[in-house]
Amino acid sequence: MALNTIAYAEILQTALDKKAVADLTSGFMDANAGQVIYDGGNSIKIPKMSMTGLMEYDRDNGYVTGSVTLEYEKKTMTMDRGTGFQLDSQDVNESNFIASATTVAGEFQRTQVVPEVDAYRYSRIAALAAAYAISYTVDSLTVFDALMDDITKVRDIVGENEEIVISINGLVKGQIEKLKSFERVVSVGEFSAGEITTKVKKIDNAVLLPVPSTRMKDAYVFADGKTEGQKTGGFTAAADAKQINWIVMPKRAAIAVCKQDKMKIFDPEHYWKADAWFITYRKYHDLWIKDNMLETVRPNIQPAATTTQTPPSTGTEG
């Protein structure tokens, strides 16, 4: 039975991994972790290269020697999240376990894991790039100009050939789409997030990715499951959280890392606590932006006095 249980876990995990990338609006950030070095524990190293520029060539003495420096930014992972589900053996027999477990795990990932990971990533980006954040009250007359200004500022740094992503609050996107100025510059193109390619709208060739407004706050409380008021788990917007209108940045700027996304399944014969199947889910993750990329990230955030436009998230989406 133990071998079968391991097989069940692998089947479920593979399906969940593929679905997570598709459901996460921030899924494209995971592809940026390819060069990250994991040393074990809670530490990773992100490579950063710097080099000297062109110098005057001397016809007698030849080239002036330049230099290349490869450094590693050491980062600490902080988000270690997990939970377990118990399915009574009388409710689930072995023959239909996969169907029942897939339903439970899939719904958990869709309504809990994906919204929380997205919310953490966007709030984390807003915190890391706070020095470049702009406070802006959404106004139907000026919102499009404000967005175009942020795109221009990022492009002025990275150039025209860099792929730009706009992670935009779904409510703000709705406002912009009503404007005639939007109709004049919008186009449709392809966008890749890992192995998944989808059709997306683009503004001035910058990818427009809508994000539910509940996932676009600049601060959240991630429940520990133990403290009073946090025993149901999940996440909620912090009391002083501000609404993020959008984040404009190069596609490669944010590096999302997930080192543990393990599912374990214990059958009724090996689960000591009850006559039941027990499914565990753990996600160990974090996000960073290289120091030399911070200036290319532009969070646009509502002033504190106007943060009542959407209710705080409960960590559950229908």
Tens of pLDDT, residues 200-238: 999 989 999 999 999 999 999 999 999 998 999 999 999
pLDDT of residue 15: 63
Whether 201 contacts 222, CB under 8 Å? no
Rounded to the nearest 5°, which phi and psi values hold at 216? -115, 60
> Is the Cα torsion angle 300, 230, 21, 106 positive or negative in sign?
negative
Given a cut of 90, is residue 31 above it in pLDDT? no
Given a cut of 70, is residue 64 above it in pLDDT? yes
pLDDT class for 199, splitting at 50, 70, 90? very high
pTM: 0.84
- CATH of span 2-309: 3.90.1690
Q: What percent of the chain has pLDDT over 90?
A: 46
Domain residue spans of the chain:
2-309
User: What is the mean predicted confidence (pLDDT) over 145-164?
Assistant: 95
pLDDT class for 4, splitting at 50, 70, 90? low
Q: 36-45, 139-148, 151-160, 272-281 — which is least confidently predicted?
A: 36-45
Residue 91 Cα distances to 7, 100, 101, 275, 281, angstroms: 21, 9, 11, 11, 21
Tell me which of 314 and 176 has the higher pLDDT: 176
Beta-bridge partner residues of 257: 286
Given a cut of 50, is residue 263 above it in pLDDT? yes
Highest mean pLDDT pick, 68-82, 132-146, 245-259: 245-259
